[in-house]
Structure 1
Amino acid sequence: MPVVPLLLVLLVLTVVSGVVSLGLGSEPLPLHGVVDVLRARVVGAAGPDPALDTIVWELRAPRAVMAMVVGAGLAVAGACMQTLVRNPLADPYLLGVSAGAGVGATLVILLGALAGLGVWALSLGALGGALVATALVLGISLAQGGITPLRLVLTGVVMSAAFSSVSSLLVFLSADPRATQSVLFWLLGSLSGSVWQQVLPPVLVVVVSGVVLLALHRWLDALAAGPDVAGGLGVPVRELRLALFVLVSVLVGVLVAVSGGIGFVGLVVPHIARILVGARHRYVLPVAAVGGALFLLWVDVAARTVVRPQEIPLSVVTGLVGAPIFLVLLGRRHYSYSGGAG
């Protein structure tokens, strides 16, 4: 399928969906009211009703933007991870980064660590846990002989289980049921606390990561064909694997810090992108990014409207939606990974 028209369609759908999503929530709002708020904020038109402005601009807009940023970042990280370990079943959380972030977030919620940092406390705690997990997985892999796909997968799975056990132990020992509920809700993914002050860091990380990966698209194509092929083409395989590991870990760590653990986005969306545009990363990465943004935006809308006024954790929605989609994809297409769908 032609890439440019597909990207344009996805971008238009994402922008329109973003505007429409601002009117959906526990209290539905008229679309013309949403447009009035956006016009007032963007082009300086006459101000709308203050209550409407607060709901749309201060509560829902940062959440919608964060959903698109996190969705795009997870999809790009998933595509990169699948190439790094040469496994189409890999997802961004394979390296234990999410589980490490969960420990950091659990400490903040249950023990009040970093409480003086306000809205940044939870994000910084989760990011710290993610970076610790990254350092441990990297150090263990290097100590055992270097970064290889199998060693990364096994080390990441083991460390993920260890960190998850630590989080479970902390929850078990907690005497505050409300804090425990907050931890469980965060671990399953939530954008309910998104504010404008937290949007810029993940935007920068996602944009920079995407640009770097696009610049390396030829090396990524070669690596997907195997280390021998990549080495024969002059690709520094060891250094590339290390760089991809660090980049994906930082990217996922930043995203998990602001959203918690959100499953299936980084697994399903890259598969759909490869079916639509083939296996070349110069096409897969931008299509996956925009598709991930659109997907998670509507997942978040469903999470806050299906059982309103309550919210459903995002991983519950992505699991219910993503699992059937992934099974259909597996049934319809057989993957020859380096060459796309065959």
Structure 2
Amino acid sequence: MRGGSGWLALFLALVLGVLVLAVALAAAIGDYGIGLGTVFAAVTNGLGLTHVDIPPIEQSVVWDLRLSRALVAALAGAGLAICGAILQALLRNALAEPFVLGVSAGASTGAVAVIVLGIGAGGLSLSMGAFAGAFAAFALVALLSNGATSGPNHTILAGVAASQLFNALTSYIVTTSGNAQQARDVMFWLLGSFGGVRWPDFQLLLVVVALGLAICLLMARSLDAFTFGDEDAAALGVPVGRIRLILFAVTAMMTATIVSMVGAIGFVGLVVPHAARYVVGPMHMRLLPACAAVGAVFLVLADIASRTVAAQQTVPIGVVTALVGVPFFTLILYRSRPKG
């Protein structure tokens, strides 16, 4: 463990300060550039704290479009990072995260089935379709890795198989049931996009991520015990089966909600927990808040990059996170190889 509670508070304060600056930059940067002073005035106007006279178009661009997008990106990053930390503890695998384990792919299939096929129209929302797909992916990975004795990476291989299956199902649904424009829109969405999110999405995601984080913090000591193995956790009095089911459900809920809003964004849950663990240590009461804060900053910065790396076009957010995550994934895989 690194430092005490004072160090954690200082670290979180620093990261949250960076997050505020990143959100302000995200609201200022775009095809229509807006100064940071105007951004601040637009935000305080939107909150009803001030009545600064600024052009209506700038007020609308900041408050109605860019600020909500940046805040959704922050919450999505926080949620995915928390999910990654939980899965790494439950599975005792440094490579575990929703994207690698196929959970994001399953949620994508469920969401696309609702969008393209109209399954559950009037009775099954987009989020519920994504949740059903995420849980199906969890179940498939558990089935494929059940009783595995081939080492800690067996679950990851099961996740790869699940990802391929659900990605194939998604492609089949899109190519056989959607028109050309719908197919292009869905495939871009599957690579991640914050383009269509607004304040109602922020409000829902805030509730889901806050609830998920609260539940995980209540079970932080159980998560610490899981890192020693199921048998040791049971010996310490942890109800292994019940806790595992609850945490898997929480992870599926957060992943499905995020995927239903912004698409499948990979590697956030892989990169951030390792970086946060290096700074604050492995204890989950400290690690989970750190993951949430760092994940929020990471995805807001990634969203800024996605809008600025190519002139007059937006790169899918999943492409940006993959450019960071794939080398990191390779490094972890290399370090976890058998010695000798």
TM over 0.5: yes
Deviation (angstroms), 1:108: 4.5
Give the alignment's Cα RMSD to 1 decimal: 3.0
Distance 1:40 1:219 in 2: 44
The answer for the alignment partner of 2:88 in structure 1 is 82
Distance 2:326 2:144 in 1: 36
- List per-residue Cα deviations over 1:156-213 (Å, max 9, x = no partner): 5544332221111123325632211111111111111011111111111110111111
Distance 2:137 2:264 in 1: 19
Deviation (angstroms), 1:110: 3.7
The answer for the alignment partner of 1:17 in structure 2 is 22
The answer for the alignment partner of 2:220 in structure 1 is 217
Alignment of 1:243-254 (within 5 A): 243-254=246-257
The answer for the alignment partner of 2:33 in structure 1 is 28
- List per-residue Cα deviations over 1:55-114 (Å, max 9, x = no partner): 101010110000000000000000001111110100123554322222233335445668
Compared CA separation, residues 214 and 126, structure 1 to 2 (3 A) = closer
Q: SS of the residue aligned with 2:302?
A: helix
Query: What TM-score results when the alignment is normalised by the length of structure 1?
Result: 0.86
Determine whether 1:45 maps to 2:51.
yes
Query: What TM-score results when the alignment is normalised by the length of structure 2?
Result: 0.86
The answer for the alignment partner of 2:60 in structure 1 is 54
Are the counterparts in 1 of residues 189 and 262 from structure 2 also a CA contact under 8 Å? yes
Are the counterparts in 1 of residues 130 and 260 from structure 2 also a CA contact under 8 Å? no
Sequence identity percentage: 38
Compared CA separation, residues 276 and 171, structure 1 to 2 (3 A) = same
Determine whether 1:230 maps to 2:233.
yes
Determine whether 1:91 maps to 2:92.
no
Q: SS of the residue aligned with 1:22?
A: helix
- List per-residue Cα deviations over 1:194-244 (Å, max 9, x = no partner): 111111111111101111111111111011111121111111111111111
Are the counterparts in 2 of residues 89 and 267 from structure 1 also a CA contact under 8 Å? yes
Distance 1:133 1:264 in 2: 16
Q: SS of the residue aligned with 2:106?
A: helix
The answer for the alignment partner of 2:243 in structure 1 is 240
The answer for the alignment partner of 2:180 in structure 1 is 177
Determine whether 1:8 maps to 2:9.
no
- How many residue pairs end up in the alignment? 329
- List per-residue Cα deviations over 1:285-305 (Å, max 9, x = no partner): 111110000000010011112
Deviation (angstroms), 1:274: 0.8
Distance 1:198 1:214 in 2: 24
Q: SS of the residue aligned with 2:286?
A: helix
Distance 2:295 2:162 in 1: 27
The answer for the alignment partner of 1:128 in structure 2 is 129
Compared CA separation, residues 143 and 182, structure 1 to 2 (3 A) = closer
Distance 1:146 1:313 in 2: 38
The answer for the alignment partner of 1:68 in structure 2 is 74
Are the counterparts in 1 of residues 102 and 162 from structure 2 also a CA contact under 8 Å? yes
Distance 1:140 1:3 in 2: 35
Compared CA separation, residues 9 and 54, structure 1 to 2 (3 A) = same
Alignment of 1:188-227 (within 5 A): 188-227=191-230
Are the counterparts in 1 of residues 85 and 288 from structure 2 also a CA contact under 8 Å? yes
